[in-house]
Amino acid sequence: MYFRVLAIVLFGCISAAHARDWTIGVLALRGDAQAQAHWQPLVDNLNQQLPDQHFQLLPLDLHAMKNAVAQNRIDFLLTNPAQYVQIDSHFPLRWLVSLRSSHEPDGTSRNVIGSVILVRADSDIRSPLGLTGKRVGAVSPEAFGGYLLGYKALRDAGLQPEEDFKLHFSGFPVDALIYLLRDRAISAAIVPTCLLEDMQAEGLVHARDFRPLLAKQATIPCLTSTELYPNWSFAALSHVPDQLADNVTRILLNPADSKAPQWGAPSSTSQVETLLRSVNQHPQQPYFWQQILDWAQQHRLLIAAIALILLLLGANHIWVAFLVRRRSRQLEQLHQQLRIKEGALEQAQRLSILGEMASGFAHELNQPLSAIQHYADGCAIRLQREQADHPLLPILGQISQQAQRGADTIANLRLWAGKSPTSDRATVSQPLPELLLHLWQLLRAEQHQPPCQLHTDIDPQIALHLPPTLLDQVLCNLITNSLQAGARQLWFSARQQANAVTLTLQDDAGGLTSEQLSQPFAPFRSSKSEGLGLGLVICQRLINSQGGNLTLRNQVATNGYMGLHVIVTLPLNPSKEFSFVTDSPG
C-alpha cells in the first residue's frame, strides 16, 4: 500500500513537470483588444482539447513579434506569410497550417492578403499620379498588406513613393488609417484588403465614403489594388516538442465549431519571397551585404592599404591638376600682358609715324602759308597807298591773321610731335575773356544743336604767356567735345595761385564711361564714327610741353546733371621746371 501511494505521487510529479504554459504570439493588426477578442476562442479551444497544457495569447506588433521570437518569449506565432519568411531566415520555424478565407462560405481561397489604395469618394485624385506631393498613409515600412504590396503597385504605376509622396506611417492598429482618411488628415491610405469591409460590417465606417484608386478583380468580395497572396500562418518555434506541435495541428485542422477559423495545409512561400525580393525586403538580400562586410572585416589591412594607395593617387592627381591649372593661368596672364605690350608698341609706332608726318606737313605747309601772308600784306600796303579806307583792307588783314594762325598751329604740332621749339619763337599774352568769346563765336556754340550757354568766372589778374594759338587749340578741342556730347550748359573758371594758373571746364553732357576714364589719353580710341581718337592726346601733349597737366573726371554740374570736369594746370613761367599734384582720373 505504501509503495502504491508513492508511485501515484511520483507519477503526478512527473506529469506536472511535463505540463507548462505555452504562449501564442499574434500580430495585432487592428490593435490588442481586437486581436484578443478575435483569437481568444482559438486559445480556449486548445486549452479544452489539451487539458494537460495551458495556452495563452500575446498580441504584438511587427517589431515586438521579432523581439519576442529572438528572446524566446513565445512558443507559437500567428502572423502574415511575409513576416514568417523574415523571421524564419534567422530563427527556424515550423509552419503548421495556413488560414483560409473568412469572406467565402466554403473558405476555399488560399490567397486573400493584399493591399487596397483608398481615397475619399469625393476626392479629386483619379490616378496614382495625382498622389504626387500628397500625404499618403500606411501602417509601417515593413507591413505586408499595409504597405509593401501597395508600394509595389504604385511603383509599377511609375511612381517612387519614398520620393513622390509624403509618407505617414501610423503603426497599429491599422483602423487609424481609415479614420485619418475620413477626417482628411491624409489624401490616400494603403490598407490591407478586406479591412474596409470588416469595419463596415462592424458599423465603424461607411464603405461608400471611400473608393479604390487602383482596382483589380479578385475571387473574394473585397476591394483590392494588388494581387492576392497566401493567408496568415500558424507556426511553432523549434523548441516546441513534436508531439505538441502535431496535436495543435490536428486540432486546428478539425475545428469543433463550424464558425471557428478554417485552416488548411501550409501554403507555399515562393510567391511571397518573390514579392519581398522585388521590394528589397527579402532577408537574404541584406545577408549578402553582411557577407561583404564580414569579408572586409577579415581583410581590413588589405583594404586599408588599397584605400591608402587610392588616396595617395587621388591626392597626386589633385596636386598635378592644381599645378597644371596654376601654370595655365600664368601662361594666360603672360599672353595677356604680351598682347597689351604689343598693342602699346603698335600705338607707339603709329604715333611715331604720325609725329613724323606732322613734322613733314609743318615743313611743307610753312612755305605756302608764308607766301599767303606776304601777298595779303603786300596787297594791303598798295591799297592803303591808293585809298586809306579801302573796304578790302579789313579782309586782307583777316587773311594775314589766319595765315599766321595756321603757321602757329603748325608750330604747335611740332611740340606735340616731340620736336624742340625754335629759340626765337615768341610767347603771347591774350586776355582769357576775349579768347573765350572769340572761340565761342568761331565754334557758333549758341547755334549748335542742342544750343549751349557759356558761364564764365575768370580772375582778371591772370596773365598767361604761351606760344601763339596753343591755348586756342586746347580750349577749342575741349569745348568741341562738350558740344558734340550734347552739353546745354558750360562753366569755365580760371584761378591764379602762387606759381600756377588753374583753368576748369565743366559741362552737363553725362561724362565719360569708367573704361574711358581709366585710359582717357589712349590714342586712336574714339566713340565718334568719324573721330581719330587724337583730340585729347594732342591737348595733353601741348599742355605737357609747357610743364602743365591735364586731368579728367566725372562730376555733377551746378544744374544737377552729371558731366565731365576738366582741370588744366599751367605754370606762370613755362621756362622753369614745374611739377603738379593732380587728381587721379575718375
450 cis-preceded (ω within 30 degrees of 0): yes
pLDDT (tens digit, 9 = 90+) per residue, 320-341? 999 999 999 998 898 888 888 7
pLDDT (tens digit, 9 = 90+) per residue, 79-102? 888 888 888 777 888 888 888 766
Indicate the residue type of 332: E
The residue with greater pLDDT, 276 or 361, is 276
**C-alpha angle with apex 302: 297 to 307, nearest 5 degrees?**
100
pLDDT at 403 over 50: yes
CA 264 and chain centroid, separation:
61
With beta carbons less than 8 A apart as the criterion, state whether 26 and 59 touch: yes
DSSP 145-214: IIIIHHHHHHHHTT--HHHHSEEEE--S-THHHHHHHHTTSSSEEEEETTHHHHHHHTTS--GGGEEESS
pLDDT band at 536 (very low <50, low <70, confident <90, very high): confident
pLDDT at 15 over 60: no
The pTM of the whole model exceeds 0.75:
no
With beta carbons less than 8 A apart as the criterion, state whether 416 and 355 touch: yes
With beta carbons less than 8 A apart as the criterion, state whether 483 and 563 touch: no
pLDDT band at 400 (very low <50, low <70, confident <90, very high): confident
- Residue 552 to residues 226, 493, 559, 561, 583: CA-CA distances in angstroms? 83, 15, 19, 17, 8
Q: In what order do the strands lie in the sheet with 54-60?
A: 54-60, 21-27, 76-79, 233-237, 93-99, 263-264
Per-residue pLDDT at 390: 80
With beta carbons less than 8 A apart as the criterion, state whether 472 and 439 touch: yes
Indicate the residue type of 234: F
CA distance 390 to 131: 107
- Work out the percent of the chain whose per-residue pLDDT is above 70: 79
Q: What average pLDDT does the chain have?
A: 80
* Residue carrying the nine cell digits 518573390: 274
Label the pairing between strands 135-138 and 188-192.
parallel
* Residue carrying the nine cell digits 458599423: 203
CA 308 and chain centroid, separation:
34
CA distance 585 to 518: 7
pLDDT at 417 over 60: no
pLDDT (tens digit, 9 = 90+) per residue, 493-502? 998 887 888 9
The SS3 call for residue 75 is: coil
Q: Which helix (H) or strand (E) holds 168?
A: strand 166-169
With beta carbons less than 8 A apart as the criterion, state whether 142 and 205 touch: no
pLDDT at 460 over 70: yes
Best-predicted range by mean pLDDT (329-338, 348-357, 531-540): 329-338
The SS3 call for residue 453 is: strand
Per-residue pLDDT at 360: 61
Indicate the residue type of 229: Y
pLDDT band at 5 (very low <50, low <70, confident <90, very high): very low
DSSP 214-277: S----SSSS--SS--EE--EEEEETTS-HHHHHHHHHHHHS-SSTTSPPEESPPPSHHHHHHHH
**Positive or negative torsion for Cα 504, 507, 508, 510:** negative
Grid cell for residue 16: 506536472
